[in-house]
């Protein structure tokens, strides 16, 4: 894989990840762009012990443009987008409308004595999987998934070194039902200046388990139990298992986990990276085959925090969909949104059975 970094017209970084070593990336970004926005504002919620980001500039971000105006397509035929090249394999660039960035503006110290404020320092990046606007990750080749995974490893390592970054979160949103604003096949990476609430809960449970079991890894033990039970396993190979969690929150939810506990994507060995793509593509195609329609989903990489509790983590990908039937969606209504208590309409064992048969 060849890595080439350039600077866009407004100073943001863009990186090409090419599958050919002879790729030439000398096209310049000739757009006239305004300066990138400053970092968002973080406000602390004392009632939940959580940080909330206010990124008001994102209200004007691009929203579901027609294909001939997609900013993630290559620049060709007189149209200039975010990527100057006329063709590409995988591209990563700093988001033009970021939730977190390193461009710090002066902020007040607090809103009230209970609500301190600080800059949303960090970084948000866009990961384009292909230059084909009408493709999806599910119909790409295993080699391309490997390139994407290597790009995520590169970016996880680089973003982890940024000042103030505490957690790196790669993810993909697919489908208008999920809330995507661009149809082009892409994912994102958030570098947070704090450890997220979800990860804090996972770490707290892992720490309690380690204390009770003389240091054992909770996720590794859960994975071993799921592999032994077998009825919720959807697919596996030498290095990875894809299974529906016994307490799945979503109608169709699958964890894809390496058998060897590692904290993050950069820690994966070559054989583990190579064997991920075929299994993941099989899983995505099963999702699409469930109802014979493209499945809306979120694919969320759970990585250990950058600076604390890395020994408690176990890298895994959480893939889930809001679709519970061909013509029905799962909404986060009163119990889920108000209390955080999920109520699932489909038994995990049944979901695994349906996915195995898709």
Q: Which residues are catalytic?
A: 186
How far apart are the C-alpha atoms of 123 and 102, rounded to whole Å? 6
Output DSSP code: residue 192: E
How far apart are the C-alpha atoms of 103 and 122, rounded to whole Å? 9
Q: Are 88 and 127 in contact (CB under 8 A)?
A: no
Cβ neighbors of 4 (< 8 A, separation 6 or more) are 15, 16, 18, 23, 25
How far apart are the C-alpha atoms of 321 and 325, rounded to whole Å? 11
Q: Are 128 and 90 in contact (CB under 8 A)?
A: yes
Q: Among 296, 305, 301, 304, which Cα is nearest to 317's?
A: 301
How far apart are the C-alpha atoms of 193 and 166, rounded to whole Å? 5
How far apart are the C-alpha atoms of 115 and 47, rounded to whole Å? 10
Bridge partner residues of 172 (DSSP): 299
Cβ neighbors of 237 (< 8 A, separation 6 or more) are 275, 278, 279
Q: Are 124 and 100 in contact (CB under 8 A)?
A: yes
Q: Is 124 helix (H, G, I), strand (E, B) or coil?
A: strand
How far apart are the C-alpha atoms of 358 and 242, rounded to whole Å? 14
């Amino acid at each position: 894989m060849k890595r080439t970094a350039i600077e866009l017209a407004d100073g943001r970084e863009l990186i090409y990840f090419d599958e050919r070593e002879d790729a030439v990336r000398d096209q310049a970004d000739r757009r006239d762009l305004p300066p990138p926005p400053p970092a968002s504002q973080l406000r602390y919620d004392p009632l939940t012990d959580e940080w909330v980001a206010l990124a008001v500039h994102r209200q004007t971000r691009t929203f579901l443009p027609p294909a001939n105006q997609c900013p993630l397509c290559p620049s060709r035929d007189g149209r200039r987008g975010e990527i100057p090249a006329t063709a590409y394999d995988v591209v990563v660039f700093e988001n033009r409308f970021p939730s977190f960035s390193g461009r710090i503006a002066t902020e007040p110290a607090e809103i009230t004595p209970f609500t301190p404020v600080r800059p949303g320092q960090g970084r948000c990046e866009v990961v384009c999987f292909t230059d084909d606007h009408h493709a999806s990750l599910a119909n790409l080749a295993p080699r391309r998934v490997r390139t994407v995974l290597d790009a995520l490893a590169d970016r996880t390592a680089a973003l982890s070194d940024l000042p103030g970054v505490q957690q790196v979160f790669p993810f993909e949103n697919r489908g208008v039902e999920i809330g995507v604003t661009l149809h082009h096949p892409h994912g994102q990476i958030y570098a947070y200046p704090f450890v997220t609430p979800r990860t804090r809960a996972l770490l707290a449970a892992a720490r309690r388990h380690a204390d009770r079991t003389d240091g054992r890894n909770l996720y590794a033990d859960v994975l071993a139990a799921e592999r032994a039970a077998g009825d919720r396993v959807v697919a596996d190979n030498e290095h990875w298992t894809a299974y529906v969690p016994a307490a799945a929150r979503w109608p169709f939810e699958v964890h894809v986990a390496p058998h060897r506990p590692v904290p993050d994507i950069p820690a994966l060995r070559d054989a583990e990276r190579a064997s991920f793509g075929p299994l993941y593509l099989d899983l995505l195609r099963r999702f699409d085959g469930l109802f014979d329609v493209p499945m809306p989903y979120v694919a969320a990489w759970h990585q250990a925090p950058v600076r604390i509790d890395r020994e408690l983590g176990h890298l895994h990908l959480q893939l889930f969909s809001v679709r519970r039937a061909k013509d029905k969606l799962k909404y986060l209504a009163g119990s889920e949104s108000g209390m955080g208590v999920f109520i699932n309409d489909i038994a995990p064992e049944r979901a695994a059975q349906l996915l195995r048969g898709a």
